[in-house]
A and B are shown apart, each in its own frame.
Chain A
Amino acid sequence: MHIVIIGNGIAGISAARNIRKLSDHRITVISAETDHFFSRTALMYIYMGHMKYEHTKPYEDHFWEKNRIGLRRAYVKALDTEGKSLLLDSGERMQYDKLILATGSQPNKFGWPGQDLRAVQGLYSYQDLESMERYSADLQRAVIVGGGLIGIEMAEMFHSRHIPVTFLVREESFWNIVLPPEESAMINREIRANGIDLRLSTELKEILPDENGRARAVLTSKGEEIACQFVGLTAGVHPNIDLVKATSIETDRGILVDEYLQTNVPDVYAIGDCAQLRTPLPGRRGIEAVWYTGKHMGPVVAANVCGRPTPYRQPLWFNSAKFFAIEYQVYGQVGNQVREGEKHLYWEHADGRKSVRIVYDARDGHVLGFNLMGIRYRQQVCEHWLAGRAHIEEVLQQLGAANFDPEFFRQHEAEIVALYNAQNPGRQVRLRQNRGLKGVFSLLGMRA
């Protein structure tokens, strides 16, 4: 059987590796972007000089041949689901028995005037990085539009090269559609402390060209003209479904898949950023465009194409990011405000660069989510509490078990517990567990 995978990102590659583990089927992975799988999340580090492209490849080049995973650098122009074949940009046709679509995302563009000028771009692909590099040579100022994860990464990238940045954010505080106000404010401060010109509640109106068709300035919703030679468009991404639009494969925003990650067309599957679950879990989205989605879907789709029907169930939500020097982790459900029926315990360090937020149910006290800034918590422990619907006071007693900071770092769990006691008169919770593996093992019931 010939299994063809379009896309060599984390989703496509996880699928390929797991198919190889399960079977001897012929596997071909097609990508137009790069010869080998690299980590998209590390693009910024190449620009900043922390790594070279080579370092972002999670597997050595000989890995693919050794595991008999065929790699093909080509762009798939068209898809014939009846004839089970693909048309490549070279004109060649490729037959498949089963097809996995893992085509990822594309940056959003909202029809801004001037959005197709030179030196106006998003940051998604390796080619985007190359063009950013080209335009950086004579850059006096860059303007970045869109206050999300990629926008702040781009700001950090330019900042690393001492290129002044103006950062336009539509919302009144950075990423506050996801972050609660205190965390969002913390990141506003961090952005400004790094010397970024952060403009909140400001939208892009128009990008103005110079005589060569390159961006020379932007006009903002506040009527200001800001001179710049580069405009980064980072207002989110959407599934890359161009390829399937002309086929009978059903799409919504993404390629619609059932719980076996199958599309409506037999033998065609979709995973990763481009896939949209028909029936997501309550409170969850059908498209979760993060690294982990592709990583989790890969093994599941592999089982399915190899004849072992396995439903995909969205794992407990977690995510992480880094805003300049502040690390961010979230486990479970943490909204951007206190929702009805919820209570939040929010502790912030005096230096304003660390915080812990624990969301719990107002009625029965079971924990719903953790939001960490500048402090690392242990995923297994948080998930143990979340899955077991542990009571907030039980969690607080054992809170040290969750601490995943390096050795000799100050532990703040006692302060967090004290804050809870102060906010809940009459409660006398005591911290019983400090950082350390012993506590973790006994908590998780693991054999030491």
Chain B
Amino acid sequence: MSLLFIYFVHLKNVYMQTLKHTGLGLFLLALGSFIALLFLTQYEVSEASLARIRPVLAPDQQAGVLEKLEELKGKTYSFKFSYVAKVKKQIAAYNEEMAARWGLSQEALEEYVQAALQQAQTVEGQLAFTPEGREAVQNLLPEHLRQPALQKTAWMVEAGRRFRSQEDLANNLRREIAYVGSQAAAQKQVAAYQLKDYLFAIVKATSKGIFWRHPYLFFWLIIGLGALGALMYIYPKFFDGLPGIKHNGIFHRSATSVGLVGILTGAFLISFYILLYFYHYYIAEWIALVDPVSQWLRGEDASRWFMYGFLYTVAILVMGVRMFAKYRHSNYHKIRTASVMFFQTAFAFLIPQLLYQLNLPEQDLKNIWPLDYTFFFRIEEFTATQIGTFMLVWGIVLVLVGVPFLTYFFGKRWYCSWVCGCGGLAETLGDPYRQLSSKTLRSWKIERWLIHSVLVFAVLMTGLVLYTYFTQRATLLGLNSYDVRSVYGFAIGSVFAGVIGTGFYPLMGNRMWCRFGCPLAAYLGIVQRFKSRFRITTNGGQCISCGNCSTYCEMGIDVRWYAQRGQNIVRASCVGCGVCAAVCPRGVLALENGPNTGQSRMNEVYGPAFVDAGGEE
């Protein structure tokens, strides 16, 4: 009987091990294919591909750019980097032609300036430039520049305007006329902001190869097998011994203790984000991989943001299942994981697609300013429709009422570890890395400076946006509203939130962004710290200072510091993930909402009760 039982247990173990290893194999195969995909394309410029590129180009650039691209026809390119370099060169050549045709050459400019100097009149030892003088040299400029040049130099011919010397006049003329020339050329040239999208469209339209012939095959091979493999790898975790904390070996494994595997994972994630944000024309295959889904949900090919949103959602769902296995003894973790899975899938991913199909603003209705830093950029888009107007009001109500109200009752966890997308990824994909956050006092200090600076930056930036919206003026106190937006978008929105926020998961923990950068977390944190019913209660004097709670705090809070003094934990950064309470081997910690005035929330330090034992023995 018991032999039979042991045999079955053994069979089950073998089965689980096989499943796990097969799953890992499939996942690695999918990951390998995903990376290899980038190198499976050849490029060929054909009539058909040019036709696909045309609609992406600005109307007055179409002919010129296509003409340049045609020069690449008749040849197959098999290296992405050299091909992209070629395309870039063709566009640069086009831009040069535009400069030559529409701009002003150095010689022409100089000729004009010298002629104009001849027309200058000496008045009381200074020079004056008259409208008549200007008129006399006007014909030296190409016809399309004459009108703009008149406008640009209007100030120079005002009555009474004097120039100190020939040189002074010449310099002013050079600057103004050169500007007119370069402006005229720029109108025809491919601008920096257009270039990346053009490159992406060109690369994609001219791509050929096995992937492009069999997109569905690769979709299933990579996304399908990848997810399946990951789930097969995760499934045995539901049966790995009795329910309880599963942290054995975390600091022995390379992947979770910044060993080689961890560093490689970090490098991969960082590269992914850099490519996604700044060089998406190099990852056209990855973006096209999800075209089938995008076609189905949006009726168009995938953009890089669609691809990102899709992979993000899949990652949260798959790694959410891992959370169910790992924390199967804890309802708190199961419920909050289900919550982030739901909000990501429905609110962040599906509903926006639906809104897009309905021609409404694509808004993630649970994303809150200032995390959603573009919210106020889009006032016009919102106010164009009634539902859009509702979204605008909803978003403002969330900021002004939702955040303080809910945070008062539940702490910032209601958002950060239950609803938020960044939090959702951190709590699922990032969970294996939570122990890597720094717990030092120094890092806490850096955290406070950094996160509140970002909050201030976000508020000022948004202030400028609103100023521009209401006054229609772009600059205030020398700050250009549009420049400030793009600096914020680049430094905070892309580099901090993406490259560092997620790329550094395996290197510095899973909440880098939430802890050091997120302006919404800063706002929620201020409410939590000063006006909330939430705290982590310390159970009397039970703490044995083991350090599990601090080690596994993803926000880098030194929980033990408080617990060993018998003090409750009230910290702005706590996202209420509840892992400290779960890992504590002595049951010392509990997340609680309760009355919060006076001493009871944070200052109470436990002292032992001294009573006579009264036992008899």
A: residues with CB less than 8 A from B are 10, 39, 41-42, 45, 48-52, 55-58, 60, 160-161, 190, 193-194, 281-284, 291-292, 295-296, 313-318, 320-322, 324-325, 327, 329, 333, 339, 341, 353, 368, 376, 378-380, 383-384, 386-387, 404-410, 436-438, 440-441, 446-448
Contacts and interface: CB of A to CB of B under 8 A. Distances in A.
Given A41-B545, A50-B548, A281-B613, A408 B587 contact: no
A286 to B, nearest CB: 13
A47 B94 CA distance: 65
Contacts of B82: none
Interface stretch (B144-152, B303-311, B388-396, B598-606): B598-606
Nearest to A320: B586
Given A160-B249, A283-B614, A315-B609, A404 B587 contact: yes
Interface of B (DSSP majority class): loop
A379 B600 contact: no
Interface of A (DSSP majority class): loop
B591 A407 contact: yes
A315 B329 contact: no
A376 to B, nearest CB: 4
Nearest to A13: B545
A436 B594 CA distance: 8
A448 B546 contact: no
Contacts of B160: none
Contact of B597 (A39, A283, A448): A448
B494 interface: no
Contact of B332 (A42, A52, A406, A436): A406
Interface in B551-589: 551, 560-561, 564, 578, 581-583, 585-587
Interface of B: 241-245, 247-253, 329-332, 335, 435, 440-441, 537, 539-542, 544-548, 550-551, 560-561, 564, 578, 581-583, 585-587, 590-595, 597-600, 606, 608-617
B613 A49 contact: no
B243 A325 contact: yes
B438 to A, nearest CB: 11
A56 B615 contact: no
Given A329-B542, A409-B332, A58 B547 contact: yes
Given A45-B546, A282-B616, 14 more contacts: A49-B250, A50-B548, A56-B546, A60-B440, A283-B615, A291-B544, A292-B608, A315-B608, A320-B544, A329-B586, A376-B539, A376-B590, A407-B332, A437-B595
A320 B248 contact: no
Contact of A406 (B242, B560, B591, B616): B591
B241 A448 contact: no
Given A324-B242, A437-B537, A316 B548 contact: no
A55 B547 contact: yes
Contacts of A329: 542, 586-587
B80 to A, nearest CB: 42
Contacts of B243: 325
Contacts of B590: 376, 404-407
Given A387-B609, A448-B600, A327 B587 contact: yes
B360 to A, nearest CB: 36
Contact of B611 (A60, A292, A386): A386
Contacts of A383: 540, 609, 611
In this complex, which of B253, B541, B614 has the most chain A Cβ atoms within 10 angstroms of its Cβ?
B614
Contact of B613 (A10, A48, A283, A406): A283
A321 B245 CA distance: 15
* Nearest 8 Cβ contacts at the A-B interface: A437-B594, A379-B540, A325-B244, A283-B615, A315-B608, A448-B595, A376-B587, A408-B331
Contacts of B561: 58
Contacts of B599: 446-447
